[in-house]
Structure 1
Amino acid sequence: MKVVVIGASGNLGSAAVRALTADGAAEVVAVARRAPDGPRAYAQASVEWRVADVSTANLEPVVEGADAVVHLAWKFQPTHRPEETWATNAVGTRRVLEAVARAGVPALVCASSVAAYSPVHHNDPVDETWETDGASAAAYCREKAYVERTLDAFACNHPEVRVVRVRPAFVFQRSAASEQRRIFGGALALATAATTEVAGAFNLAGDGTIGRDELGELMGARTVEVSPRLASHGLDGAWRARLVPVPGSLLDAVMQLPLMSTARAELELGWQPRHSAMDALEAVLSGLPEKAGSELPPLRP
């Protein structure tokens, strides 16, 4: 089976490539905007690396002959140049879908996000039917919501393509610590979705929730209560002064994100989280002082 992974050098993409090649069943074409340049990046014989920018490249030759395309390419930064992230995240996704249709690829798996969900004001887990209008005005949320509408239209216009959208919670791994320090597990589910006859949306999240007390325990710090509005304004001011990389609107989103029910992924994909929410966050925090990373450009320390 031939699977094309677009955005293969990033946090989710690198993990998806590992999952797809673990048993040797899949031939993977790994697509990235920047090619890896270390010897270990090319160690897997079943992986062919190709360089392409989803916002500008002719993508039809890239996806031609694929049994499935897994689209994970995404730019979180630069938050001060939203036209640049829009070109990759919104326009780039539309261009991937157009190439999939023209090349006659029978299956598409696309990464959405918990940030695509509309705000909630309760602590009850939501399933995949919850509205996806974006959690706040942050560009990340707006672009994820746009991708959801693009996928809706594509699925309606191309019923011959099996379309899967995966909505993970925030994804952490130790090898992405350097990348996530600058910007902010569902790899097995992505691999299963690409190779199994399923369609629709799937929530992915680790067990447990992380609140103020849990963060304090993990970091060995005393916690204090701060008004979310005050914190948002303070973060936004620091972002405008270019002291921090994310705007206050992203904090607004985090404060309104739903807890997600993962029952459908567990039932239809046979997926179970390998790590709890605390395990995942502890992994990336422990990797920060050591500048953990890999030879893939987005994950390089």
Structure 2
Amino acid sequence: MNPSDISRVVVTGATGNVGTSLVRLLAREPRVGSVLGLARRRPGLDLPGVEWAEVDLSREGDEPLLARHLADADAVVHLAWRFGPTHEPVETWRTNVLGAVRVFDAVAAARVPVLVHASSVGAYSPGPADGAPVSESWPTHGWPGAAYTREKAYLERVLDTFERDHPLIRVVRMRPAFLFKEESASGQRRIFAGRFFPGQLLRPDLLPVLPEFDGLRFQVLHTDDAADAYRRSLLRDVRGAFNLAADPVLDGAVLGELFDARPVRVPAGAVRGALAAAWRLRLASASPDLFDALRHMPLLATDRAREELGWEPSRGSVAVLEEFLRGVRAGAGDDTGPLAGHRIG
């Protein structure tokens, strides 16, 4: 199949952060004939050129339904992912790992020519001691303590076997940094800070100091820019992994300027202890293990995406974070279950 001709694309997890950006982008792409978005709950979005269907990838017995949806697909983009409940990692494993395996098996059975999988910076092993950005060849063993990174790394091994067994299927793995947009603000606040954290508190005038600790150094990217990379990977004859991130790298100094706050050095253990206490009391959704993973994630070199996909981020990382924080304060969202907008709740 000519990669520039994609009659039908199926997107799993189409109502989430990346999914909503991607289906909108593909619906406007003249080289894509139609888009089918799969999700656990049908959204309120009415997008020309996009159909919707309900599938629960974590549920045994939905395999025949999934097979019917993939029967006439030219490409499948697998985005479906559950971040919680973080206190019950078996539940996320059912969706994130077993659900992904069901999708991969259905792709193989239907002989879909293209599979694009949402991996992550979290799949990578801890970065080099000098902090240099890593290429796509860096080991993908994740951080063993966090469910999110274990699951992302495990699926890298599953895809290694899948590619060996199905060499005619073109497999692409996207490994983006943290992805944000205004419309995802409420959903991501619920994921990381909890349902009842008031987003209005994230204002520069309320944060005179900013805790700075060893390992506070990470990258972000606007979700729409990540979706553009996914689109390009569908329409070009490329395989393998692509790192995605925007500049500059975010650290204590950059975040201090963003919040107009003075960075204050604190022990990482103290921050972890506070997060662990909040998590155990179910006041915060993000586990302390995810904090450990964040401190050890490498920085990403994005040369391959720029050269082979012709991809460039349209927004810098500071602008991305500013937009996201505006969305958190305003309770911004989208007309889907995962992204419903609320300031609290």
TM-score by length of structure 1 reads 0.96
Give me the whole-angstrom Cα distance separating, in 1, the residues matched to 2:150 and 2:73: 30
Higher Cα radius of gyration: 2
Offset of residue 136 of structure 1? 4.4
**1:23 CA displacement:** 2.8
Determine whether 1:49 maps to 2:52. yes
Residue 36 of structure 1: aligned partner? 43
Q: Aligned partners of 1:174 and 1:232: how far apart in 2? A: 27
15-24 vs 251-260, greater mean Cα deviation = 15-24
SS at match of 1:299: coil
Q: Which residue of 1 aligns with 2:205?
A: none
Asked whether 1:147 is paired with 2:165, we answer no
Paired position in structure 2 for 1:21: 27
Is structure 2 residue 204 aligned with structure 1 residue 204?
no
- Equivalent AA in structure 1 for residue 245 of structure 2: A
Are the aligned partners of 1:136 and 1:249 in contact in 2 as well (CA < 8 Å)?
A: no
One-letter code aligned to 1:289: R
Q: Which residue is equivalent to 2:215?
A: none
Structure 1 stretches of 5 or more lacking a match? none
Gaps of 5+ in 2: 1-6, 193-224
Runs of 4+ in 1 over 4 A off after TM superposition: none
Q: Which residue of 1 aligns with 2:4?
A: none
Match of 1:166 among 155, 171, 174: 174
Q: CA RMSD in A?
A: 1.1
Q: Cα deviations across residues 213-269 of structure 1 (Å, max 9, x unaligned)?
A: 211221222221111122122211221121111111111111111110100000111
Distance 1:19 1:9 in 2: 13
How many corresponding residue pairs? 297
Q: CA deviation at 1:138?
A: 0.7
The code of the aligned residue for 1:253 comes to A
Of the candidates 293, 296, 299, which is equivalent to residue 336 of structure 2? 296
Superposition deviation, residue 7 in structure 1: 0.5
Structure 1 segment 38-117 matched on structure 2, within 5 A: 41-42=45-46, 44-56=47-59, 57-58=62-63, 59-117=66-124
Map of 1:232 onto structure 2: 272
**Take 1:149 and 1:200, find their aligned partners in 2: how far apart are those partners?**
13
- Residues 151-300 of structure 1 correspond to what in structure 2 (within 5 A)? 151-184=159-192, 185-300=225-340
Q: TM-score, normalised by structure 2?
A: 0.84
Which residue number corresponds to residue 131 of structure 2?
123
